[in-house]
Each structure stands twice: as C-alpha cells, then as structure tokens.
Amino acid sequence: MSSYIVCLFVSLCCSLIIASTAGGAIHKNSKNAKRSTDHISCLAPVDGPRLGFQNEHGKNMKDQLVAAGERVELKCEVFGTPQATIHWKHNGILMEKSAPIGNYESRMENGDEPIIGLSTTVAVLVIDCVDDETAGHYSCVADNGCTEAIESSAIVAIEQNGEKHPACPVRSIFAGITPRINLWTDSLLERPEVAATLFCRAEGRPKPKIEWMVEDDNEIYQKVSNGDKHVLLPNGDLLIRGHGTAENSKAGVGYKCVASNNYGSASLKSIIIRAHA
C-alpha cells in the first residue's frame, strides 16, 4: 500500500504541472459557466487554484464513429485545485440540472484554513443506444469555482450506409435501471488538519442508495457511518473531517462508494492522501 501511495503522490504532482501548462488544443475556456463568489476559499490553496484535463496522447476525449444502436461511453478526467465538478452538454445544452460547483461543504468547514486540495475527478457519460437523436456534439465542462471553467469536446457520429437509421427503443418510465456511478473522486491530496470531500454521484431507477466503506489497517473495507469524522451528504458525497497531523495519521486511506437499488449495484474506489503542504 505504501509504494502505491508514493506512486500516486508523484502522479498527482506531475498531473498538477500538466494541468497548469496544458495548451489550447486540448481544451477551451467555457464562457457560459457560473463563477463562484466565495473569494476566501479560492485563496485557500497554498499553490493557488488550478484546473486542467488529463492528457492522453494529446487528447482528453476522442471522436467516435459507430453503427446505429451501438453503446458509447465518454470519459472525462480532470485535475483541479480546489476539486472540480464536471457537467455534460449535448449540442451546447446542459444535460442535467446544475449542481453546486466543487466541494462546497468542505470549503465551508475549512473557511480560510490553507489547503492543498489537489484532486482527480472523473466523470463518465454512457449513451446506451446511439441514434439520430443522441448522436452529436458532446462537451465535458469542468469547473472548480476559482478558475475559468474549461471544456473538452467530442463528436459522436453514426456510420452512413445509405439506409435510414432506426430509432432506439423507448424505455418505459417504470422499467428498472441498474445503478451507474457517473462522477467520482479518484484521488485527493490534502493536509491532515482540514476537511475534504470525496464525490460519488450515481444514476439508476429507482434512485440508488449510496453508502461508503473505508479501508481499515487490515485492508478490509468497513461501513462508514455519520459521526465526528465522517458526514454522509444527501447527494452521495462523503465529507471527511480533518484530524491530527501527518505524523499521527495514516498517509493514505482507501474508500469505496457503493450505489445500489433493487436491480443491482455498482462500486468505485477513491483514495485520500494526507500530507503537509
């Protein structure tokens, strides 16, 4: 576990450099995103606020040409200080109701306390069946409320074979849908004295119940309950309160988010690393 934490720490720091130097060919500023007025929390990061996309061979998301009816998955990975929230747009229109930008609860709890706040946020958009209605221009919009919002885009197009594209079947509003986690914190580097938030947002029908597990000293996951150390937030996120110093707290702690309903479950792991700035 310790060697993994060291590797992850190095990866996060390198990613911060990439995020601060990424070129315009990778992403663009989002002109329509709302700006935060929380001036104090934006001054809290010890190295200043930053935001950038994870680069993979010079691209964040790739255009996709698929057959009608195929399933498509778009993945967006963002490095940010403070932690960023990700939204999706289809042909320029937001696909879901806008949620509060960033880790609002931990910012409120920390006040003007200095933070590191370096995190990796991941969002996945799944198009279960591509047709003329769901094909088009998709944008991942990342915002942490302290820097200019950024966008990365991809085109989802249907292969042309000279025939009319069949429409995807309409799913009944009463049909059950297995949970799917669509936004989560992959990793977070933070000072031990301050609070931090791990994201976990899920979709499904009925609405999934989200629970959190924490890895103990024997690397066994135990259920997290509301208390002095943890607060389970209504949207599925987990607030982890600060405690002690780096000398008397574990360097890295693994967490697992589990989303479940009557039709199944989904889970993803996150890790928080505690270190002094």
Distance between CA 17 and CA 14 in Å, rounded? 5
Closest CA to 59 of 16, 23, 33, 103: 23
16's enclosing H/E stretch is helix 2-21
At a CB cut-off of 8 Å and minimum separation 6, what does 57 contact? none
Q: Report the pLDDT value the prediction gives residue 17, as an integer from 0 to 100.
A: 42
Token reading at 250: 């574990």
Distance between CA 262 and CA 265 in Å, rounded? 8
Instruction: Note whether 84 and 54 are within 8 A (CB).
Output: no
Q: Report the pLDDT value the prediction gives residue 46, as an integer from 0 to 100.
A: 75
Distance between CA 15 and CA 11 in Å, rounded? 6
Query: What residue spans of 37-162 are helical by DSSP H?
Result: 39-43, 104-110
Candidates 2.60.40.10, 2.60.120.10, 3.30.70.580, 3.20.20.60; CATH matching 2-274: 2.60.40.10
DSSP secondary structure code for residue 162 in this structure: S
Query: pTM of this prediction?
Result: 0.83
Backbone dihedral angles phi then psi of residue 224, each to the nearest 5 degrees? -95, 135
Where does residue 238 rank: exposed (0-12), middle (13-18), buried (19+ CB within 10 A)? buried
Instruction: Note whether 254 and 270 are within 8 A (CB).
Output: yes
Token reading at 227: 């208390």
Q: Which residues pair with 177 in a beta bridge?
A: 205
Q: Which residues pair with 155 in a beta bridge?
A: 137
Q: Provide the residue ranges of all domains of the chain, joining segments of one domain with +.
A: 2-274
Region label for 244, one of left (φ > 0), alpha (ψ between -120 and 50) or beta (otherwise) = left
Instruction: Note whether 212 and 200 are within 8 A (CB).
Output: yes
Token reading at 201: 């947002």
CA distances from 271 to 59, 83, 87 (A): 25, 14, 22
Q: Report the pLDDT value the prediction gives residue 9, as an integer from 0 to 100.
A: 47
| Blockwise average pLDDT, block size 10, the chain, 277 residues | 49 47 39 45 76 70 93 94 93 79 73 86 95 95 91 94 81 90 96 93 96 93 93 94 67 94 97 85
